[in-house]
Amino acid sequence: MRHRLATTVARSITRATAIGACAAAVGACAAAVGACAAAIAAPAAMAATPPGPPPLPVRAAALLEESTGQQLLGENANAELPIASTTKLMTALVTLRHARLSEVFADPDYYPASEDSQIGLVPGERMSVHDLLIAMLLPSADDAAEDLAYNVGHGSVGRFLGMMNARARELGLAQTHYTTPSGLDTPGNYSSAHDLVLLARYDLLTEPFFRAVVDMRSAVLRTGNHVRVVTNLNDLLDRYSWINGVKTGHTLGAGYVLVASGTQHGMTLIDAVLGTPSEAARDDSALALLNWGFANFTLRTPVRVGQLIARAAVTGGTPGQTVRLLAAATDTHVFPKGVRINLRVHAPAALTGPLPANDTVGWVTVRDGGQVQARIPLRLGSALPAIKHSTALDSVFVLSATLSGLVLAAGAAIGLTMFWREWSRG
């Protein structure tokens, strides 16, 4: 009998262990199915290649989206070329970082050539930084640029040029070097289409005054020897309400240059066209590139911070118990129009505590046509405490105590039966 009881106990333990293992496996399978379902829930990726841009009469061109910095097109974009007055994008930035708009500067002894764009400043004329920047950015006044460089450089245009080049290095503008604050044809003054759109993006995002000025059609300058009315040379502003900047340029060496920006449907694009043969070709090229970008690309946010991406089973937890896996960051990208985005989850199907809330437990990839565009960490939506499990030894003790009780009860019953029989016989 003892042998049979021991066998029964062993079988019970084995069955209990097997049942627990099966339950854990079922939970893991359920979690795996849930994770796969989360990945499959996003539509499968579908290739969507936009048509190429129209042919442009340019030496170089580049196009990027402002908020993400994604470059959407580059044509000879890294070539080092003369850039004319788009040099003033850096002159403005250095000035804004080292001078107050309310400061008043006296014009140095600078005598621009007759072909220079200028507002007619005379030596000693006093004008505010506010008005000098507007004069430099709208009618592209070279005398205003020299005035700012001389005074911000504490009496040295050369010192100011050193500040410009240092800032270019800090911003990672690898194909850029300055030898003039105005952009005249000077040996060693160059940049690239790629660097120009990066610099314009930086100016627009970090300097509210710059952003406001380059969107002006005209302005009135009230400091100086007399009131001046100035007009923006970027005539795209007058022709299209969605155009909002940025800067024109022209010299014999550079040709016609334009850095332009525009906003449609919540997306801002910035382009640069260098070396065009005429003002009309400059405007048409910049406009065609912006229109191509808006026609073929869109700004989308497939993942937002805190978004529920998947659920994982809790090892040893109650049946069906899961923990939420949340996106740790927001991902916004420019995608070709018509593309389907695929989210693929990389995380354990089941998790074992203890784990703190917000612990990183995996990631989700954002795919576009098979290309990984982003990898976002996944974090626990809540703390996962340790689960207390009953061990096999606990089960033996409980079962043994139960069986002992049964044996004693059975023995007592047998004893009473035998006593009753003897008593009856007597």
Could you say which of 245, 276, 307 is where a domain stops?
A: 276
57-71, 386-400, 403-417: range with highest mean pLDDT: 57-71
* Section 97-102 average pLDDT: 98
Mean pLDDT is lowest, of 52-56, 245-249, 380-384, for 52-56
Q: How many whole angstroms separate alpha carbon 154 and alpha carbon 421? A: 124
Selected residue with higher pLDDT from 11 and 285: 285
Give the residue numbers spanning the domain of 43.
Answer: 39-51+298-387
Could you tell me which of 224, 244, 223 has the C-alpha nearest to residue 234?
244
pTM: 0.79
Domain CATH for 214: 3.40.710.10
- Whichever domain contains 361, its CATH number is 2.60.410.10
Q: Of 53-57, 74-78, 157-161, 201-205, which range is least confident?
A: 53-57
Assess whether 266 and 365 both reside in one domain.
no
pLDDT in tens, 8-32: 333 433 343 333 433 333 333 333 3
Res 71: pLDDT: 96
Question: Is 8 a domain residue?
Answer: no
Answer yes or no: is pLDDT of 211 > 50. yes
Whether 171 and 43 map to the same domain: the answer is no
Residues 135 and 191 in one domain: yes
Question: Token match 């950015």: residue?
Answer: 137
Percent of the chain with pLDDT over 70: 79
Check residue 325 and give its pLDDT.
Answer: 97
Q: Does residue 399 or residue 105 have the better pLDDT?
A: 105
**Phi, psi for residue 78 in degrees, rounded to 5:** -100, 5
CA 372, CA 367: separation in Å to the nearest integer?
Answer: 4
Measure the CA–CA gap between 84 and 272, rounded to whole angstroms: 13
Instruction: Note the pLDDT of residue 126.
Output: 98
Best CA proximity match to 52, nearest among 373, 341, 296, 298: 296
Asked which of 92-101, 281-290, 337-346 is least confident by mean pLDDT, the reply is 337-346
Residue 267 sits in the same domain as residue 306? no
Residue 372 lies in a domain: yes
Could you count the other beta carbons within 10 Å of the beta carbon of residue 13? 15
86 assigned to some structural domain: yes
pLDDT-derived band at 389 (thresholds 50, 70, 90) equals low
402: in domain: no
- The whole-number pLDDT of residue 28 equals 39
**Nearest to 364, CA basis, from 376, 372, 373, 381:** 376
The pLDDT of 141-153, averaged and rounded, is: 97
pLDDT at 32: 39
Residue 202 to residue 138: CA distance in whole angstroms? 19
Of residues 177 and 30, the one with the higher pLDDT is: 177
Closest CA to 243 of 225, 226, 260: 260
| pLDDT band at residue 387 using 50, 70 and 90 as cut-offs | confident
**Could you tell me if residue 7 is inside a domain?**
no
Asked whether the predicted pLDDT for residue 111 surpasses 90, the reply is no
What share of the chain has pLDDT > 90, as a percent?
72
CB 389 within 8 A of CB 334: no
Q: Is it the case that residue 352 has pLDDT exceeding 80?
A: yes
Instruction: State whether 140 and 83 are in the same domain.
Output: yes
Determine the Cα angle at 214 with ends 208 and 215, to 5°: 90
423 pLDDT above the threshold of 60:
no
Report which of 373, 369, 353 is spatially closest to residue 361, judged by C-alpha positions.
353
Stretch 135-151: mean pLDDT: 97
Could you give the C-alpha distances from 385 to 55, 86, 264, 311, 380, in angstroms and in order? Answer: 62, 60, 49, 16, 12
Residues 203 and 92: beta-carbon distance below 8 Å: yes
Together in a domain, 47 and 76: no
Indicate whether 182 belongs to any domain: yes
Residue 114 pLDDT: 63
Residue 393: per-residue pLDDT = 38
For residues 325-337, average pLDDT: 96
Q: What is the pLDDT of residue 18?
A: 36
The amino acid occupying position 394 is: D
82 and 209 co-located in one domain: yes
- Long-range contacts, stretch 324-327, CB < 8 angstroms, 24+ apart: 324/380, 324/381, 324/382, 325/361, 325/362, 325/378, 325/379, 325/380, 325/381, 326/378, 326/379, 326/380, 326/381, 327/303, 327/364, 327/376, 327/377, 327/378, 327/379
Please state, in angstroms and rounded to a whole number, the distance separating the CA atoms of residues 81 and 192. Answer: 6
Residues 154 and 240 in one domain: yes
Per-chain mean pLDDT for the chain = 84
| Angle, CA of 240, 244 and 248, to the nearest 5° | 95
Q: How many domains does the chain have?
A: 2
358 vs 418, higher pLDDT: 358
Please tell me whether residues 178 and 240 are part of one structural domain: yes
pLDDT in tens, 71-89: 999 999 999 999 999 999 9
First-last CA distance in the chain: 32
- Band (370; pLDDT cuts 50, 70, 90): confident
- Is residue 91 in some structural domain? yes
Cβ neighbours of residue 213 closer than 8 Å, sequence gap 6 or more: 133, 134, 137, 138, 219
- 92/195 same-domain check: yes
The confidence band for 41, taking pLDDT boundaries of 50, 70 and 90, is: very low
Considering only residues 122 and 422, tell me which one the structure prediction assigns the higher pLDDT: 122
State yes or no: pLDDT of 61 exceeds 80: yes
Catalytic residue set: 85, 88, 140
Same domain (yes/no): 134, 72: yes
Confidence (pLDDT) at 341: 93
Of 387, 404, 420, at which residue does a domain stop?
Answer: 387
Has residue 25 been placed in a domain?
no
Give the tens place of pLDDT for each residue, 232-254: 999 999 999 999 999 999 999 99
Residues 185 and 238 in one domain: yes
Q: pLDDT class for 115, splitting at 50, 70, 90?
A: low
Per-residue CA distances from 372 to 6, 46, 332, 342 (Å): 59, 13, 13, 9
Confidence of residue 37 (pLDDT cuts 50, 70, 90): very low
